[in-house]
């Protein structure tokens, strides 16, 4: 039962080291608490690896990247691998600069990631970064994940998971989570989630918490975290009044994770496995 | 019709590069989304100019300044000028340190600003920073913008706009937005806006979004953003219950921008042109 | 009357320089405003001491520490001492890395602290850092502050206050605030406060505001700030509906400080002096 994965987070309360952008750090910390885990944030090379050592999982997020933070990600990632803790990568805006692309390429070279979570365009940029030959044409790929492009998208993203040797979670109108063999196609979520900054960052932190509490089932744990975030978006939307906007919605999404029981998640998760 | 300026933001959804303080970055990002634009934040010299290149506008905010961020502002500002994108300056606390004053002086030397938004004291500090001879006495200036000092304040701020060759928006009990020729005198707003950290930062991000979507009308766009923020403060206050305080108010202000229609803004904007 | 200490914050509106982590900076700033003081944040060595000079109090917080911020803390702390302004230390996660421990040791060597606020484990780590000989065994200490261990804990924490020559505030299920002579044992608070990231950081900022407005009564001011935060946690909890979670609670806590009168605090403070 997938709800058990959330129950494990609540029971084990894993400490999650998050190296993320200051834009969404507060929300990520409160989201980690909401799901039952505990957050710690440290992004300086002077302590990043040591802080990781006392944690059960690591979440790396490229937002407002600096050279100093890139070094910390590298050191913490390697240390986390040594400890066999899950390491999650959120390649925020990786297509926006060569600095982010080069940082990801260096990370992928030296750190084994348990899961990579991003939108389709971020995941493609990463997959291209490790490709020996540039891909041919975009016509081979689904432009966005919709019901019409779903079959093609599942195959494409399975290919990325195999190439990157990690679970890949592509979130959008429909979410796809795959290890290259099996793919969870998830239809939870609400369009308003994209009207709040950092819901993707929060989800990546959730994935880290779920994987840390369920190290033997990282595909299912990642999929369940994606379902939980989407379901929270749906629940939060039912609370909205006419005058509420994206700031109130932001609070309600975190609130919904805080109050979500394993049974709620089991009932509300809307997915199929392909 | 001024409401069209907001409609243009919603239609064009400009991507806004904000280099701002971590204290208010999350609120700025959610405010940019609330008005219909999209935020991206990058403050490292390794990527600042490149990120600006994919945006339609740039917002520079001096809060929690570092040398690294100052370099990023410089590089992004110059690049934005090359692309003829609007560049907004928010000189937060510029009077608090020589580091901030010198940074502003360097920026003003090399970057053309579309608009500068601050309180009267910040704007005076900037105007003084570029003056060849120190101003005579403060008696020549309005100490604060009130109904009593309004005529004098309008003339004073028009003078700054001419000297700085930019739109100047001075916000306070009464707001004045001018390009040196025409001045919008704006009586929207609510005193409680000053009980939330970063409402000024949020407004500057709004100004960037409005100018990016209305590049041919930057005076009107800046004035309209100021009206929108003030009106949001008024609407938010009508929702407050007895136990609500500045944290709930902070959410309601962003919510109000999220739900504001061009017609609401047209009806609620309270200004005269001098 | 202890409520007067809050009244003094509202009357004097002290400007508080907070050097803190980006994770909780926004909440700290809004909390400082909520109690009636004003926040300013500057964490670069190029301006830290100068910004402190225009303030009435300084709050130093070790979260997401960097070498650059550590230097700023050092410079601002020394300057604040010269000006005889209160300086508060929040040793967040000091046990998590040698970098944080060494930074604290350097700070304790050169800066006189007015108050140190942390959980029992953080305060112990600090006390050990300045001890010539390592302490014997943990059996000598209360493992956590509960009704059962209270007597022992009060003695232990009084010892730390004497050794560190500062007011020490240890917060937990029961809070203890002492200058080594007298101890306030405080039973305000709500367990849900620990479900919001940074409520400790917010409290330390409150302590700075209360001490800055009441420089002659720093023990009482610290104790009163601790009562106020705990009482806010209780009030906030009475507002919670079934669907509210830690994000909404976070807002309600700040709201409660915003609306708290000196009379409310006088009535609601639950403490004894030992």
Please state, in angstroms and rounded to a whole number, the distance separating the CA atoms of residues B10 and A173.
Answer: 21
Quote the strand ranges of C74-212, DSSP E. 87-90, 115-118, 167-170, 175-178, 183-186
Nearest by CB to C24, from A26, A42, A68: name it: A26
C-interface mutation test, from A44, A56, A69, A236, most C Cβ less than 10 A away: A44
* CA within 13 Å, CB half, A169: 31
Q: Residue B248: which pLDDT band, with cuts at 50, 70 and 90?
A: very high
pLDDT of residue A138: 45
Our CA angle for B129, B130, B131, nearest 5°, is 95
Residue C144: pLDDT band (50, 70, 90) is confident
Dihedrals phi, psi of B97, to nearest 5 degrees: -155, 155
- The nearest alpha carbon in chain C to B24 belongs to C26
Task: Beginning with the edge strand found earlier in the chain, give each strand of the sheet holding B115-118 in spatial order.
Answer: B38-40, B15-19, B57-61, B87-90, B115-118, B167-170, B175-178, B183-186, B271-273
Identify the residue with better confidence: B102 or B139: B102
Nearest chain B Cα distance for residue A197, angstroms: 6
Q: Which residues of A touch B257 (CB under 8 A)?
A: 245
- Cβ separation of C34 and B244 shorter than 8 Å? no
CB A160 within 8 A of CB A125: no
- Residues of chain C in contact with residue A76, where contact means CB-CB under 8 angstroms, are none
Label the pairing between strands B38-40 and B15-19: parallel
pLDDT attached to residue C218? 98
- pLDDT for the residue C131: 59
Ramachandran quadrant class, A263 (left: phi over 0; alpha: psi -120 to 50; beta: rest): alpha
Tokens of B255: 């919510």
Exposed, middle or buried, C137 (CB in 10 Å: 0-12/13-18/19+)? exposed
- The reply to whether residue B44 touches residue A67, judged by beta carbons under 8 angstroms, is yes
Chain B residues whose beta carbon lies within 8 Å of the beta carbon of residue A202: none
Q: What is the distance between the alpha carbons of residues B73 and B54, in angstroms, rounded to a whole number?
A: 16
- Give the β-pairing of B38-40 and B175-178: unpaired
Pick from A64, A99, A197: CB nearest B30 = A197
Residues from chain C that touch B22, judged by Cβ atoms under 8 A, are: 22, 25
Percent of chain C with pLDDT over 70: 95
Q: Whole-model pTM?
A: 0.96
CA distances from C137 to A225, C134, C143, C154 (A): 42, 9, 11, 18
The mean pLDDT value for B16-38 works out to 98
Of chain C, the percentage scoring pLDDT greater than 90 comes to 91
CA C166 to chain centre: 12
Q: Which of B274, B245, B5, B234 is CA-nearest to residue B154?
A: B274
Answer whether C247 touches A (CB < 8 Å).
yes
* Interface subset of B 57-86, CB within 8 angstroms of A: 68
8 A C-beta contact, residue B143 and residue B149: yes
B274 exposed, middle or buried (CB, 10 Å; 0-12, 13-18, 19+)?
A: middle
CB B111 within 8 A of CB B19: no
CA torsion B43→B46→B50→B56, rounded to 10°? Answer: 10
CA R_g for chain C:
17
Q: Which residues of B touch A248 (CB under 8 A)?
A: 251-252, 255
E strand or H helix that includes residue A27: helix A25-34
Interface residue of C247, C253, C255 to substitute, partner A, most A CBs within 10 Å: C247
Mutate to test the interface with B, among C10, C31, C44, C73 (most CBs of B within 10 A): C44
**In Å, how far is B118's CA from the nearest CA of chain A?**
22
C-beta atoms of A44 and C66 within 8 A = yes
C226 pLDDT exceeds 90? yes
Q: For residues A117 and A20, what is the distance between their CA atoms, to the nearest angstrom?
A: 14
Q: Which are the contacts of B57, defined by CB distance < 8 A and separation ≥ 6?
A: B14, B15, B16, B17, B80, B85, B86, B87, B88, B208, B209, B211, B212
- Give the span between the Cα atoms of B129 and C37, in whole angstroms: 29
Kindly report the number of other CB atoms within 10 A of residue C121's CB atom: 16
Q: What is the mean pLDDT of chain B?
A: 94
Question: Under a CB-based contact definition with an 8 Å cutoff, are residues C186 and C177 in contact?
Answer: yes
Q: Which ranges of chain A have pLDDT less than 50?
A: 133-139
Which of A256, A240, A198 lies closest to A34 in space, CA to CA? A256
Q: Do A42 and C24 touch (CB under 8 A)?
A: no
CA-CA distance, A42 to A20, in Å (whole number)? 9
Interface A:C, Cβ pairs < 8 A: 96
A136 three-state secondary structure:
coil
Query: Angle of helix A150-164 relative to helix A120-129, nearest 10 degrees?
Result: 40
pLDDT of residue C98: 95
Q: Which residues on chain A are in Cβ contact (under 8 Å) with B251?
A: 247-248, 250-251
Task: Using pLDDT thresholds of 50, 70 and 90, give the confidence band for residue C3.
Answer: confident
Q: Is B50 on the interface with A (CB under 8 A)?
A: yes
Which residues in chain B have Cβ-Cβ distances shorter than 8 Å to A247? 30, 34, 250-255, 258
Confidence of residue B176 (pLDDT cuts 50, 70, 90): very high
Min Cα separation B204/chain A (Å): 17
Contact between chains at C196 and A33 (C-beta distance less than 8 A): yes
What does the block give as tokens for B269? 């904007």
CB contact under 8 A, B93 and C258: no
CB pairs under 8 A between B and C: 95
- Judged by average pLDDT, the poorest of A241-255, B205-219, C74-88, C128-142 is C128-142
Closest by CA position to A123, among listed A155, A151, A156, A98: A156
pLDDT reported for residue C143: 72
C-alpha–C-alpha distance, residues B118 and B126, integer Å: 10
In whole angstroms, give the CA distance from residue B232 to residue C196: 28
The alpha carbon of residue C15 and the mean position of all alpha carbons in its chain are separated, in whole angstroms, by 16
Contact between residue C200 and residue C219 where contact means Cβ atoms under 8 Å apart: no
Report d(CA C222, CA C265) in Å as an integer: 14
Extended beta strands in C166-211, E state: 167-170, 175-178, 183-186
Asked if B247's CB is within 8 angstroms of C34's CB, the reply is: yes
Distance CA A242, CA B179 (A): 37
**C247–A42 CB contact, under 8 Å:** no
B184 touches chain A (CB under 8 A): no
**Hey, are the CB atoms on A24 and B26 less than 8 Å from each other?**
yes
A33 CB within 8 Å of a chain C CB: yes
ipTM (interface pTM): 0.95
- Is the minimum CB–CB distance between C261 and chain B shorter than 8 Å? no
Encoded tokens for C189: 């608070």
R_g of chain A computed on alpha carbons: 17
CA R_g for chain B? 17
Contacts of A122 in chain B (CB under 8 A): none
Per-residue tokens: B11: 């239609």
Cβ burial of A200 (10 Å; 0-12, 13-18, 19+) is: buried
Tell me whether residues C66 and A54 touch, CB distance under 8 A: no
Most C-contacting residue of B20, B21, B23 (CB-CB within 10 A), to test interface: B23
- Model confidence band, residue C141 (pLDDT cutoffs 50, 70, 90): low
Q: Which two structure tokens, joined as six digits, stand for A103?
A: 């940082």
Q: How far is CA C82 from the centre of its chain?
A: 21
- Inter-chain touch B250–C30, beta carbons under 8 Å: yes
| A197 vs B29, B68, B256: nearest CB | B29
- Asked whether the beta carbons of B71 and B45 are under 8 A apart, the reply is yes
Instruction: Flag whether pLDDT at C140 surpasses 60.
Output: no
Mean of all residue pLDDT scores within chain C:
94
Q: Do residue C96 and residue A41 have CB atoms under 8 angstroms apart? A: no
B15, containing H or E segment: strand B15-19
Question: Could you tell me if A188 and A202 are in contact, meaning their C-beta atoms sit under 8 angstroms apart?
Answer: no
Structure tokens at A47: 């302590």
**Which pLDDT score is estimated for B131?**
59
Whether B68 and A66 have beta carbons less than 8 Å apart is answered as yes
CA-CA distance, C74 to C49, in Å (whole number)? 9
pLDDT of residue A136: 42
Whether A50 and chain B come into contact, CB under 8 Å, resolves to no
- The answer on pLDDT for C107 being more than 70 is yes
- Closest to B251 (Cβ–Cβ): which among C39, C41, C251? C251
Q: Does B30 touch chain A (CB under 8 A)?
A: yes
Average the pLDDT over C112-131 and give the result.
Answer: 91
Q: Which two tokens stand for residue A25?
A: 């750090």
Q: What is the DSSP letter of B179?
A: S
Pairs of residues, one from chain A and one from chain B, whose beta carbons lie less than 8 Å apart? 95
What is the three-state SS of A223-272? HHHHHHHHHHHHHHHHCCCCCCCHHHHHHHHHHHHHHCCHHHHHHHCCEE
Measured in degrees and rounded to the nearest 5, phi and psi for residue C96 equal -80, -20
Beta strands in A65-150 (DSSP E): 87-90, 115-118
The pLDDT score that the predictor gives to residue C138 is 45
Measure CA of the first residue to CA of the last residue in chain C; give whole Å: 18
Q: Does A44 touch chain C (CB under 8 A)?
A: yes
Other CB atoms within a 10 A radius of the CB of residue C151 amount to: 11
For residue B95, give both structure tokens: 């009077």
Whether residue B49 lies within 8 A of chain A, CB to CB, comes out as: no
What average pLDDT does this structure show over C29-47?
Answer: 98
Are the C-beta atoms of residues B2 and B220 closer than 8 Å to each other?
A: yes
Verify whether the Cβ–Cβ distance C251 to A256 is below 8 Å: no
Partner B, chain C 215-244, Cβ-Cβ below 8 Å = 235, 239
Q: State the pLDDT at residue C11.
A: 98
Q: C30: which chain B residues are within 8 Å (Cβ-Cβ)?
A: 196-197, 246-247, 250
């Amino acid at each position: 039962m997938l709800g058990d994965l959330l129950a494990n987070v609540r029971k084990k309360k894993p400490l999650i080291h998050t190296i993320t952008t200051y834009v969404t750090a507060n929300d990520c910390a409160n989201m980690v608490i909401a799901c039952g885990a505990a957050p710690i944030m440290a992004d300086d090379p002077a302590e990043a690896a040591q802080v990781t050592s006392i944690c059960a999982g690591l979440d790396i997020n490229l937002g407002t990247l600096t050279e100093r933070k890139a070094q910390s990600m590298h050191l913490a990632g390697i240390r986390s691998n040594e400890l066999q803790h899950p390491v999650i990568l959120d390649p925020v805006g990786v297509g926006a600069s060569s600095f982010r692309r080069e940082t990801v390429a260096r990370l992928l070279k030296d750190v084994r990631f348990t899961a990579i979570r991003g939108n389709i365009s971020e995941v493609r940029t990463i997959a291209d970064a490790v490709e020996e030959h540039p891909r041919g044409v975009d016509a081979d790929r689904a432009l966005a994940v919709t019901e019409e492009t779903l079959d093609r998208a599942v195959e494409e993203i399975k290919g990325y998971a195999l190439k990157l040797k990690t679970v890949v979670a592509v979130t959008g109108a429909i979410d796809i989570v795959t290890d290259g063999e099996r793919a969870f196609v998830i239809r939870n979520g609400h369009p308003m989630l994209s009207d709040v900054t950092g819901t993707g960052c929060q989800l990546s932190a959730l994935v880290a918490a779920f994987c840390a509490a369920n190290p033997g089932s990282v595909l299912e744990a990642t999929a369940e975290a994606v379902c939980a975030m989407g379901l929270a978006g749906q629940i939060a939307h039912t609370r909205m009044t006419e005058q509420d906007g994206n700031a109130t919605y932001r609070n309600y999404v975190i609130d919904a994770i805080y109050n979500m029981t394993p049974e709620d998640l089991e009932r509300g998760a809307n997915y199929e496995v392909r």
